[in-house]
Structure 1
């Protein structure tokens, strides 16, 4: 059995887009945040990002005492993690870099602090290879941008303690995230694999000339994407089964879907296809900058989260009859 310290101070290691977004979220949730990054312009870029993202993040989960003033920065990684209760690492996706970095963080941070990686594809069993205390290391992979999107994928490595998984799940849930526990390690985790599978078919349809880039985006965002912003596919198929629910869907509709899987395509990603997608995206963007489009995205996501919060079941409704937890 291992125990971890209560979290009051968070260290952010790596302050690119994901690290800066994580810093924003932790600050809005009332933590003291110390960030570190070796880039010479990192502190300026970080503070600019946090200031720009603050209002959107605050509209979702501002807590009393939260303040931009609780953000500090140092280029010295060891100093940044020396007094941390929780470390969120966001370095580039290079296995050899993360292995060495985690060993250094493990050596410099308090022994009862948790060290989480935002890695989108490298498994924790690889990252924790050279750690002296691998039992307190874990993947805490967010969906971009973390200060808006609640999802966090939590998965341990071969040497991660079960208590670490439990504590990380509880911690993320307590700060407004929606953590999911992956019981097995696999490259890319889960959410990225799901969206990669969808995008493969979208790109195939574009390559086959079935529709253009803008219409393929519309097909997702104005159709299934709207529903997925409310419920996941299994629960939606339960509704699709009518009065018979998921059982009726599996008995009568699922066989057709299984047959349709055989018709899904794998595109050949040629230079011509790349140019088609680039040209189509720029046309769809219609002159708006990446920052402008990101601001539009974040505003709509914040509004969607507010609507979802209004319709979340109360504790008694979630527990079901006689207060019993539902499966």
Structure 2
């Protein structure tokens, strides 16, 4: 795909991740963030992770020099092929920023929100020009490595923009997942939230520490989910008859009161258990070091998935 001009509004963890992904794809990025030191923070971040991106693979035209910062939303979006919005999770703020982008962006530009919770129908309500081009483009951290991006349209969205966005994100070596409809929290975050709530109950009840909860995922279901996801994993649990037998065998267990899906109250005691637990787990290793270790692991894991010719969201193909 030829080089495009892309706008990134909001340069926190997710916004900077998008900037890195877009630059690695050989595109030109115009960013806007009114926060103090936003420009300096972004350049520090890019300089830190660029060697990792070069290891993972960047386009021949990729360069940190393809980034510039704008003074206003209008300046950032007026030449953009796609606008990626990443401002804090406040409905009024997101709606206003998206409406401003809609006011000044080219008529054919895609406006994608990275929101982890709001539905596109809500976010496009204040757009007076082209609400049909407002979609959800929800990524996962670190954006510059993790391939999944969830795409969803709202009541006013023209599906052609979802297809256009899918093609673009695919060109960035991502795995765009176009949702059939829209729902608060989308797909990935709703599933993670369910596990997060259960984990908090387990820690709060004194059943296990944060380290023990993490171990229960990392050494067990997490290994399988990296390859197959929950449905295909349970398909194998049914033996030769697959999911049909699994449902017959373990379906009744769904009625057992194992889970506590309502979140526990985040008391000071529970907060301290979680904070102290994760401090103990990380020891004297800094967050930066943990991020570097995570990135190295993700690159190796994704290369392994490519070698196996198998991604969990796709149909299984035979592999010799």
Structure-1-length-normalised TM-score: 0.90
Structure 1 residue 319 displacement after superposition: 9.3
Q: 2:204 maps to what in 1?
A: 207
Rounded Cα–Cα distance in structure 2 between residues aligned with 1:168 and 1:89: 14
2:163 to 163, 166, 176: 166
| SS of aligned partner of 1:234 | helix
- Counting only pairs closer than 5 Å after superposition, residues 250-289 of structure 1 correspond to structure 2 as 250-256=247-253, 258-260=254-256, 262-265=257-260, 266=262, 267-289=264-286
Q: 1:295 maps to what in 2?
A: 292
Structure 1 residue 274 displacement after superposition: 1.3
8 Å Cα contact 2:237/2:246 also seen in 1: yes
| SS of aligned partner of 2:227 | coil
The question of 1:28 aligning with 2:24 is answered yes
Rounded Cα–Cα distance in structure 1 between residues aligned with 2:231 and 2:7: 37
Rounded Cα–Cα distance in structure 2 between residues aligned with 1:14 and 1:121: 17
Q: 2:100 maps to what in 1?
A: 104
The question of 1:44 aligning with 2:40 is answered yes
Gaps of 5+ in 2: none
The question of 1:85 aligning with 2:96 is answered no
Rounded Cα–Cα distance in structure 1 between residues aligned with 2:21 and 2:295: 13
| SS of aligned partner of 2:277 | helix
8 Å Cα contact 1:22/1:146 also seen in 2: yes
8 Å Cα contact 2:3/2:26 also seen in 1: no
8 Å Cα contact 1:56/1:302 also seen in 2: no
| SS of aligned partner of 2:228 | coil
Q: 1:245 maps to what in 2?
A: 242
Rounded Cα–Cα distance in structure 1 between residues aligned with 2:59 and 2:193: 35
The question of 1:176 aligning with 2:165 is answered no
Q: 1:134 maps to what in 2?
A: 131
- Counting only pairs closer than 5 Å after superposition, residues 70-81 of structure 1 correspond to structure 2 as 70-81=66-77
Structure 1 residue 27 displacement after superposition: 0.6
CA spacing shift, 1:195–1:319, aligned 2, 3 Å: closer
Rounded Cα–Cα distance in structure 2 between residues aligned with 1:175 and 1:78: 25
Q: 2:301 maps to what in 1?
A: 304
Rounded Cα–Cα distance in structure 1 between residues aligned with 2:317 and 2:140: 30
Rounded Cα–Cα distance in structure 2 between residues aligned with 1:86 and 1:172: 10
Rounded Cα–Cα distance in structure 2 between residues aligned with 1:188 and 1:271: 26
- Deviation by residue 1:285-316 (Cα, 9 ceiling, x = unmatched): 102222221121111111111111111159xx
| SS of aligned partner of 1:179 | strand
8 Å Cα contact 2:78/2:106 also seen in 1: yes
8 Å Cα contact 2:80/2:109 also seen in 1: yes
1:223 to 220, 223, 229: 220
Gaps of 5+ in 1: 322-327
Rounded Cα–Cα distance in structure 1 between residues aligned with 2:94 and 2:60: 35
Structure 1 residue 270 displacement after superposition: 2.4
Rounded Cα–Cα distance in structure 2 between residues aligned with 1:245 and 1:238: 5
CA spacing shift, 1:313–1:95, aligned 2, 3 Å: closer
Report the more deviating stretch, 176-185 or 98-107: 176-185
Structure-2-length-normalised TM-score: 0.92
